[in-house]
Every structure is written in C-alpha cells, then in structure tokens.
Structure 1
C-alpha cells in the first residue's frame, strides 16, 4: 500500500486538505514536533489555511532524534489526525512543510528561523525541555543550556536556538519573530522571555538582549487537548480511514482549547477562526487548567499506576477512584481566582472527558516528569488552600500517591524506574530513607517546590505521612476505597 503523501489520491472516509498546501509558504518554525503539537497547533493552523489562506505553513524541528522526521518527510509532511468521541472522524493535515532533524539540525533550524518569511517560532518540548527553573530563571545546570552556553554558535537546545536565531536576524537587519510557548508551564511566555534574555546576557551579548527585549514578543498561552501516544492501532485506523499507510498518525479527543495573549511581533494566523481565544491576560485560564485538568491528571496517574489502572478511562470506570477525581477537581477549583466562569460546569466537563472510552491516555505517560509538573499542579494550590482554610486532603492524597509511586518495588524488591529528569536523585533519596518519617523531609530538601516544608507540618503533614504509610502497608486500592468514603470537607 502507498504511503500518505502530497501525491496520494483522496480515498477512504478521511477529510483531505481543503486548500493546496504547496501554494503557501512557511511562516512558522516549530520546535518539538510531538503528538500534541500535531493535534493542536498544526490542526488549528490547518483550519486557518483552509478558511483564509496565508503563508503560515510550518517547518518542524525535532530536537530529540530522527524518528519523527523519518515518518513525516517521506509523506511530504502529511499525517492523519483521528478524533475519537461518540463518533470517529479523521482528517489529513497539510500544514507541515517538512521536519528538520539529525546531525545538521542546528544549522538547518537556524537557517529556517532566520528566513525573512519566519514570523513565529512556536514550541512544545514539555516542561523539562526548556532549561528553566520553576521560578522562570535560566537553569544553567540543564544539559542543553550548559552545552549551548559553552558553544552558543552551534546550539542544540531551545533557548540557545532562539537566541542564536534572533542574533542572526538582528545582524541581517531582519525584524524579530514572536516566540510562542505551547507547553504546560505557568506564565510560559514570561518565563521563556526571562530565560532568553539571561542567556543572551550570559554570552556577553548585552546589546542583543536589549534588542530582543525591545522587539521580540513572548505571548503566554494555555493549551488543552488530550492526546495519547500513538499505537499500532492508531496507524491501522489511519490506513483504514485514508486508504494509505501513515506512520505519523495521531489520535485525540474532540475537545480543544487555546487561550493566547495577543502580543505578536510580526503578525499571526487568524487562529480565532479555528476557535482560539485571544485575551489580555492568560494567567487565570492557565491556573484553571493547570490546577484542575492537569492536577487531577497527575493525581489519577500516580494513584492509577499504583492500583493497576493503565489508562485514564480505567480510573474513571472505578466508582471510588472516579469520586476522588471529582473531589480533587472541586478542591482545585476553590483555589482558582479571576475567572467569570462556572467552575463546577468546567469540572463536570473534565470528568466527562476523562471517561471517554475511545481515548487510551496512559497513566504511565501522564506520570512522567513529576518534579517538573507537580509544583504548579499540586503544591501551589495546596499551599494556597492551606492558607485560605479550604479543603486540603485531596492535595495530600495526590502528593502521597507521588511519594508512594517513587518508592515502588518490583517482585524481587528492586526499585522500579521513574521517568523524571531527577530520577537518580529521587532514587537515592528513597534508598537512603529508613522509613516514611525520614523520606518526606529528604524529598522536601531535594524538591522543595514539589514538597514545600510548610506541607510537612501540622494537619497536612500528618495526613501526608499517614496516607503514604497506608498506601505502602495496605495497597492503593484499599486506600482509594476508604478515601472515597471519607467526609473530606
């Protein structure tokens, strides 16, 4: 069977591009072309090209390996987006021009970013991919940042690439581009701007830092669309729906949301035509999503992993566990400020999305990189709830689930691998603690933004320690059943 490509004939039930992709130039370079970007940013842009046209196709840059490029480039950037809800729909996306990867990634990416036509550099590299501390400072210990500070002319990381490209544009007399983070970082635009300016200053480019500050823009964004990892079933479904082999197919849910601060340096696609919301202040929307959707996701991921539930839908199929998810959503909603929205309605909609039996969103996937995700998802709302006197037990359960997840053992008693940027340090902390009483302060010392010292004291600290002990001694299933019966308010 032939591969999906620009010359592929339109067969099957999938919708094909309603425009001629090759008639549009690329105006966006995207760093980190994973499944989420292809289900979200590229899908929004595809709709704009179909409805309004414009030179807004996208050049992708893969910072980690060549597999994405090897799948997409032979297909001329085409791929199938499968949307699974009560019904299944598929469309072939034509937004992507090509993908840059491999040994010449840095030079080719810089060439693309310094073309006059490039007006936006967008990013989805997950929280750990930037090299930014939780406060938003440049993390000079991050491997990519450290390497790029040593050799700024041949960058391989996000911030190094951005600074080098802006330096080249300034030297060539070209205008600055917009840098658009689409990751689940709180205040993502502000933090990225600070880190970029610090990198420029650290490489003795003070004049460049001033030029970037005056000319480039870094809008903050909030993004939302549940997008699981692709499987063989995904690729099989794409083949059935398009009539062509597609090694880059993605599946997602019907819901999608994008809230964007409307500060662009050199124009933008009319993403509002595809449903994006442009606002003056993204922060309240971001807080709502990080604390409610992402916070509940982290809680159910760790507790799901410890209770034998492979997917989010499996958690929601357990009435007791689903009750804890709804409990967490309510507690998180109590910490959200500044939105004229009915958060009870939002929470109910989130729970319904989690139930979706057609989306195989793995709890193991969500459980990755906890030290990067939990500060804004769990710790911050927990501290605010504690200060405000609103319910905190749901946050204690979420953090206890993470701690117990770190302390897992296999059948032979050996530690189970944790997928986290600080995995080695976490493993050493767990191994060095003789009991829970010693483990909690050790983890707090290592990750004070995940386990702030204030959460180890008083009623919260007692609940946290009791929950970790109970999960360890009785098993997560028993604790879930008991917590679901608890009058937690």
Structure 2
C-alpha cells in the first residue's frame, strides 16, 4: 500500500500526523518543495496547527520539476520524516507546479486568507549579481521575465504575484526567506523591489510603496541537516510505517528556527514547537552561516580531494575534527558581539558532523560553490584582512574543485573552468577565480592569493593537513 489519507488509520498512533490534515486549509504558500522544507518548516507548521487548533496548512509550490508535485499528490500530500522515529507529516495540503498551476497559485497569493509566504529556493534562486548583491537583471531568465513572458523564476513570479495582491486587496502579508544568506530578509526584499523597479508596470511606484510599508520580509535562520533522499531513505520509512512513502525524508534530530519578530499579518505560532522570535537575528544568522555552513563547505572540498564521500567520513579521518575546530577558530572573531555560546556551538557541530547515521554527501554540499563561497567565506576574508592557514587550505580545495569538479554542479561552472585557460601560474588562476565570484578586491591581495596558491599542490595530491 502507498501512504495516503485512506491508509492513515492503518498506521500506529505514533506514526500519524499531529493533527488531521483534513482540518487544515492553505494559509501559507511555500516555494520550493524539497527535502529541507519537508523536514523543517512543514514540521514546525504542523506542530503550530496542532497546538493552536488553527487550520495552518501549506500550499507547496515547486518552481520547476513536476515529479515531486505528482508524487505528493498521489499520496494526498502526506510524507514522513525520520529522525529518532518515523512520523507522517500532514501540514502540506496542496502541491502545485509554479507554471502548470499558475491560476491556482495566483488565486492563493491574492487571497487575504493567505498571510505568509516562505521560500527554500537555494542561493541561486535569488539571481543576485555576485559583485553587487543586487538582482541580476541581465540574467537571461530574469530578462525574459521582465520582457513579459509568464514568469518562470521564483523571483519574477513572486514579484508579479505580490503586485497582483496589491491590486486585488492590498492585504498585508509576510514573505519569509528560509535560505542560507546573510540578511536573507533584506536580500529577498531587494531582489523583489528591484524586479518591480525594472518592470514596465504603470503602477510600479505604487507597488513599491506598498511593498515598503505593508509587506514584511523577516530575516530568519534555519538549521537542520537533511541529506539528499536515497532509496535507503524510502525503504527505511516503508519498514517503519508498513506503507510505501515515495516522499520520505530523513534528518538529524537537531533543528532550529530563529525568526525576526517583524511580521505584517497573522502567522502560525511556530514558537509552540521551539522556534525563537527575536528582534535581531544577525548574531544567530552569522554564527550559523559562517561556522556551520562555512565549515560544511570546507569539509566538502577538502573531503572530496581526500577521497571521502560524506561529512561523517571526513570526521572519521585523523584531520576532520581538527579542520572544523581550526576553521571555526579563524572565523569566530568576525562574529558580532552577543551572548551566544560559540564554543558550545562548535562542540555541537563536531558531534553533529560525526554522526554516521546522517549520510550527508559532500557532492551535495559542494554544489553551487560560487554562490555559497561568496556568502560564507568572502566576507570573513574581508573582515579578517586575509586568511588563516585553515581557511587558505579550504580555499585551495575549492580552487582544485573548479578544475576537478568531482561530480558537483555550479551555475558558473564554465566560467570557473575558463579561469584555468592560458594562466601562466597558479596565482593567476586563484585571482581569476576570486574575481569571478565577486571577490575582485580579494584577488588584488598578493598575500592572500599566494597563501591559497601555495597550498594547492598538497590538496591536488590529496594530502590534507590543517
């Protein structure tokens, strides 16, 4: 049997959703129907609905692939999450394709009943120019959306939908980025308003005024390690549930959600499940982005060079933990002053990374490096005034990965590979690569470039000694 509403009653009570999915309605629209959303925001939202008795359901919109939408519809939008146990989550009440179901998405976003939009579209989904951080209006996909085609980017679609909401009712709404970017709320607001400014809409100035005064873009920090789904994931869920779940996800037990307390309209009471609402998320955000995500990227490129497959594989080496602690020690001085316990956070990171039950693949983490490195490492280099030995080693491993990509993907893959063409020496390659990802100023630092280039031969030989 397949997981569905008709098979829910066959599940043991401990495997069933916290609230009956049939009692929920779409009050939140989410863009990005990936494993992370299912294991994070969907879990918090179900708990919020159960605790409050309010019908907080999610309409999940997938921007591109129809496959997740079709699979979820087959299962009445039910799926399971496995951490310490396996439990079905029922907070998603609709699964939609952004383009094929454009009419329904329009209806939802213009309805005053929908008061929250959330996004997990990864860094590349924001189409920001790496040099300026602003919307890249020259990108062919954004340019096509601005030229008048039905929008196919999330940014173009969301900007268009918000404008339609303004014209229909002007009802307030909160738009919540759940992607790993410093100041993600402001970053999202900037690309949306930039799209509106570049549009040819006669009322674009009025739309801009409404976005600035009525729509909220709270900053957030999301944290939970959710490996890519494999056949083993679905097999384990089926064994636990007694029914087949083709949308099963597995995750570590740890999860965190910190949100800026600046919402413009009603929202789910996510604090009922431990979410933290604060006046300023920056200390939390930078600690997570620079320590966890930053060391994750370092683990990925160094581990791939050493022949490792997962994060736990790297931590099982003689140098993995030393690398994490050395990297975080170099980065921690750039964090803003706060009462957060950085040493305890690093200790927890080491423990989380070493968990062999979480098969977090290095190829998954290493993908889209040109965007991730720009967010996670370049600001640290600027604030430090250069790189310490571990950060320089990690940068050398990323440089190596641009030539030997290990099966990872990157939106700038061709441009990065071209940085090697005709280069007279390694230092030239390093400077070109830094420039390509928005670090032209760093490329002009001879000491930094030399420090990275000096470590490259050892990385190429798979000798990792942080």
TM range, smaller chain: over 0.9
Does the 8 Å contact 2:3/2:78 carry over to 1? yes
Match status 1:77 vs 2:77 = yes
Match status 1:258 vs 2:248 = no
Relative distance call for 1:43 and 1:432 in structure 2 (3 A) is farther
Does the 8 Å contact 2:261/2:277 carry over to 1? yes
Residues 170-228 of structure 1 show CA distances to partners (whole Å, capped at 9, x for unaligned) of 22224031110000011011111111112112113111111111111100101110000
Q: How far apart, in 1, do the equivalents of 2:124 and 2:105 lie?
A: 20
1:341 match: secondary structure: coil
Does the 8 Å contact 1:221/1:258 carry over to 2? yes
1:332 match: secondary structure: helix
Q: How far apart, in 2, do the equivalents of 1:227 and 1:290 lie?
A: 16
Instruction: Give the corresponding residue for 2:275.
Output: 276
Match status 1:406 vs 2:402 = yes
1:25-40 paired onto structure 2 within 5 Å:
25-40=25-40
Q: How far apart, in 1, do the equivalents of 2:140 and 2:64 lie?
A: 13
1:65-464 paired onto structure 2 within 5 Å:
65-83=65-83, 88-101=84-97, 103-134=99-130, 135-151=132-148, 154-204=150-200, 205-386=204-385, 392-408=388-404, 418-449=408-439, 452-454=442-444, 456-458=445-447, 460-464=448-452
Q: CA RMSD in A?
A: 1.8
Q: How far apart, in 1, do the equivalents of 2:278 and 2:440 lie?
A: 30
2:94 match: secondary structure: strand
Q: How far apart, in 1, do the equivalents of 2:298 and 2:409 lie?
A: 16
2:27 match: secondary structure: strand
Does the 8 Å contact 1:371/1:422 carry over to 2? yes
Does the 8 Å contact 2:371/2:437 carry over to 1? no
Instruction: Give the corresponding residue for 1:487.
Output: none
The answer for unaligned runs of 5 or more in structure 1 is 409-414, 485-489
Q: How far apart, in 2, do the equivalents of 1:448 and 1:58 lie?
A: 36
Relative distance call for 1:240 and 1:178 in structure 2 (3 A) is same
Instruction: Give the corresponding residue for 2:457.
Output: 469
2:296 match: secondary structure: helix
Q: CA deviation at 1:231?
A: 0.5
Q: How far apart, in 2, do the equivalents of 1:21 and 1:469 lie?
A: 56
Does the 8 Å contact 2:295/2:328 carry over to 1? yes
Stretches of 4+ moved more than 6 A in 1?
A: none
The answer for unaligned runs of 5 or more in structure 2 is none
Q: CA deviation at 1:322?
A: 2.3
Q: How far apart, in 1, do the equivalents of 2:239 and 2:147 lie?
A: 49
Relative distance call for 1:103 and 1:179 in structure 2 (3 A) is closer
Q: How far apart, in 2, do the equivalents of 1:13 and 1:223 lie?
A: 29
Q: How far apart, in 1, do the equivalents of 2:101 and 2:141 lie?
A: 14
**Alignment coverage as a number of residue pairs:** 461
Q: How far apart, in 2, do the equivalents of 1:374 and 1:226 lie?
A: 19
2:385 match: secondary structure: helix
TM-score by structure 2 length? 0.95
1:248 match: secondary structure: coil
Q: How far apart, in 1, do the equivalents of 2:428 and 2:133 lie?
A: 30
Instruction: Give the corresponding residue for 2:43.
Output: 43
